[in-house]
Copies of this chain bind each other. A is one copy, B any other.
Amino acid sequence: MMQHVYDFNEGSLEMKELLGGKGSNLAEMTRLDLPVPKGFVITTATCIDYLEQGEELDAMTQSEINAALIRLEESSGKGFSDTENLLLVSVRSGATISMPGMMDTILNVGLNDANVARFAQITQDERFAYDCYRRLLQMYGNVVYGIDMKHFDNILNQVKRNKRYSQDFELTAEDLKAIIDQYKDIYMEIAGKAFPQDVKAQIMGAVEAVFKSWNNDRAKIYRKLNNIPDSIGTAVTIQEMVFGNKNEESGTGVLFTRNPSTGEDQLYGEFLLNAQGEDVVAGIRTPISINRLNESMPEIYTELLDMTNKLEQHYKDMQDVEFTIEDRKLHLLQTRNGKRGAKSAFKIAADFVNEGILTKEEALLTIDPESINQLLHPTFDEKDLAQAELVTDNGLPASPGAATGHIVFDAETAKEWSELGKPVILVRHETSPEDIEGMSVSEAIVTNHGGMTSHAAVVARGMGKCCVAGCDVLEINEEQKSLRYPGGSLIEGDIISVDGDTGSLYVGAIQTRNSDLDENYHTVMSWANDIATVKVRMNAETPLDIQAGLDFGATGIGLVRTEHMFFQPEPLSELRRFILSNSDNERKDALESILIHQQNDFREIFELIQDKPTVIRLLDMPLHEFLPNSKQDIEIVASQQNVSVEDISQRLTGLKELNPMLGHRGCRLAMTYPGLYLMQAEAIMLAAIELNNKDIAVKPEIMIPLVSTERETAYLREMIQERIEALLEEHQVQLAYTIGAMIETPRASLIADKIAQHSDFCSFGTNDLTQMAFGYSRDDAGKFLNQYVNEGVLAYDPFQRVDEEGVGALLQIAIENIKKVNSTMKLGICGEHGGNPKSVELFASLGFSYVSCSPYRIPIAQMSVAQSAIKLKQ
């Protein structure tokens, strides 16, 4: 026969499915002999039966509840009709999966007309007692009888108006008694029945109401959006209430078992004597540091220390504990793993290992990889931030960090001002490759178009620079050099502060604080790197970025974007000559001159990266992105190139594409202009030969982007290889190099085995793969993607975290097929997802050899691959 009711001391955390999260946690603490107020749980299975059987509590359940209530009176030493020790209870819902705020809770159950005065005596606070009763009536009326809250609010507000009160706490006990009378009238008027004065009737009604609340609209929608089955039901926890406001020997508080900011091993928290939790929140009295408890109640403080040690040992994590003291008796009301900052997370992890509480592997799993960001970038001073005037908080936190500076609306001004020593914030509709230099000298970048993987976002992350993107409430007027936002407007030169961690902008300067990487960080990260099997490389091409990546311990470069090198004036001008020319000879000339620049670029990279493997992606961007856009730029280029403005305009029209993302780019360029890739391959190998002559064996891995067919892969691979072999022959050297394919179209994923037959390695571009799998342009998706994520249509933004269902399926098909033809092939990820923890977990489980991400995400990726390795072992 099914047991419907479990006392706390009958349960444990393992019974979470039956007792719910809250109930099983209270049972677990009870099992640990911790002083938890007594209580019992009505199981989730009972809820389901109740809902399925016409919403009636069966006799068996009722009798079990009644028996449990009798046991509760005994174990608590209180009674529902005991005038000395009045027993009141809370009735709370608690499903197995947390659904915060979705279902109902009723406190102070047990009060009635007969015992409320006695309760006033016990708590020595008449106002408090009647307020509890008022609240019980209000909650009960709403939850159990479905009386609209507005009826109660009207009465309360009427009284406050009459008495000219502005706050609830100004209500006196007499006021409350009058309100209670009026509330009772509401019961009769609206629900047609009185508030049950019988305690058991109160409890049965409350239990049924909690069960029913499982199927209220809010809860149903929440479950739908969060993929929680309807069939699991909620448990009901009934627990003795304890009162921290009973007298001066009572109190209430919250604490962390260690300092959540620094990780220091000492209690951290606050308490108030003769108070309830509410009083802390209301802010009328200032709470006292937990350490002062040692002065007022040293025995309780010692008891707390013991208990928190016990909790840490048991839960193997730093705890966040709620407690109440009633008559010098300590009660624990809740414990859970404590949230903490990154700095403290590393210290706690290191300490727990030293203290023997955790193994290194367990300790690594306590670190939220994403939080490491906090350690790598400056952040705003919290106090300053609290007082700052908000411009908007609707931007996307595209690249972390915090910065203050003068607004500029174009890259040119950014350069001029920064040369004069003025810190600038570059604000644009969206950035383009021509803004790169301006971006690099700015403190932060702000855009009102584009998402987390827009040009601005990607480049900023690459630079480790703060960026807020897609901030669409800003009306930016680039020509007038001004912007409007809902609360005002700003012009060039005005100072703003940009928070890349939250996506918020503020008026004026805010003090920033640099974080640094301490010993704990290095200790714990060294464990991570020892355990990891998947390597972490960087996406980088500038010396600054490469050095940053090396400092973070990148094992190589997973992506050199060669187009970024063309935003130096000279190679750009030569590339434009190549594009605009109609003569084969001039094209050849232009390529020869570009070759020299490229060779220099590659030499610079190789000199830094030395013998670490380096994936160099050949030109990927459509050619028109290298041509000028504005009338003025077109004129300048025309005179530089000695062609007419019409020629350029015509060429621009010819190159214009409706959907450039799906256009003439990537290896398609090389099919049309083979010279481009041959020149790049030659430049790479010439640079490699230079280093080889200095006895440095570089490892270039040449990558052909955007392949979709086997034949283009085979054709280009052979073409490049032939040129390289001829070059090596000519220079009489032998050099290791590989040629691989970038798999970033769905079709390439589907035929990856065929592509792999012509590739020494395959690297997956999950950004483009995501765009094409969903049919979402990352530049445009902002219009609906935020809505999709907010409304739960998508569980998460697939440009931030790789989509497991769709893109994951493509990766899996690709890898399974590749392994069939080449079980040892080197497989990498070079999209932005390479720095996202959940994505890295998927990549690791699929068997990738390495992930690559922007330098400032390398530590996050390193922690993620370590955690993935541990989880896969488990």
> Using a CB–CB distance below 8 Å, which chain A residues touch chain B?
657-664, 668, 671-672, 706, 708-709, 711-712, 715, 744-747, 750-751, 768, 771-777, 779-781, 783-784, 787-788, 791-794, 803, 805-807, 809-810
Contact = CB atoms under 8 A, between A and B. Distances in A.
A776 B668 CA distance: 10
A661 B664 contact: no
A671 B780 contact: no
Number of copies of chain A assembled together: 2
A664 B772 contact: no
Contacts of A807: 747
Contacts of A751: 805-806, 809
B659 A805 contact: no
Given A715-B793, A751-B806, A805-B751, A783 B664 contact: yes
Given A750-B810, A793-B712, A777 B657 contact: yes
A768 B771 CA distance: 13
A816 to B, nearest CB: 13
Given A658-B780, A711-B793, A712-B788, 16 more contacts: A659-B660, A659-B780, A661-B775, A662-B662, A662-B771, A671-B788, A671-B793, A708-B775, A709-B793, A711-B792, A744-B775, A745-B775, A750-B773, A750-B805, A751-B806, A772-B773
Contacts of A805: 747, 750-751
A803 to B, nearest CB: 7
B711 A777 contact: no
A821 B709 CA distance: 32
A775 B771 CA distance: 9
B664 A780 contact: yes
Contacts of A784: 664, 668, 671-672
Contact of A777 (B658, B792, B793, B809): B658
A784 B663 CA distance: 9
A382 to B, nearest CB: 36
B750 A772 contact: no
A775 B772 contact: yes
A746 B750 CA distance: 11
Contacts of A659: 659-662, 777, 779-780
Given A709-B794, A751-B806, A777 B746 contact: no
Contacts of A791: 671
A774 B708 contact: yes
Contacts of A708: 773-776, 806
A787 B660 contact: no
Nearest to A665: B775
Contacts of A715: 793
Contacts of A750: 773, 805-806, 809-810
A744 to B, nearest CB: 8
A475 to B, nearest CB: 9
A709 B775 CA distance: 11
A177 to B, nearest CB: 46
A720 B715 CA distance: 50
A626 to B, nearest CB: 16
Query: Interface centre among A672, A706, A746, A807, by most B CB within 10 Å?
Result: A746
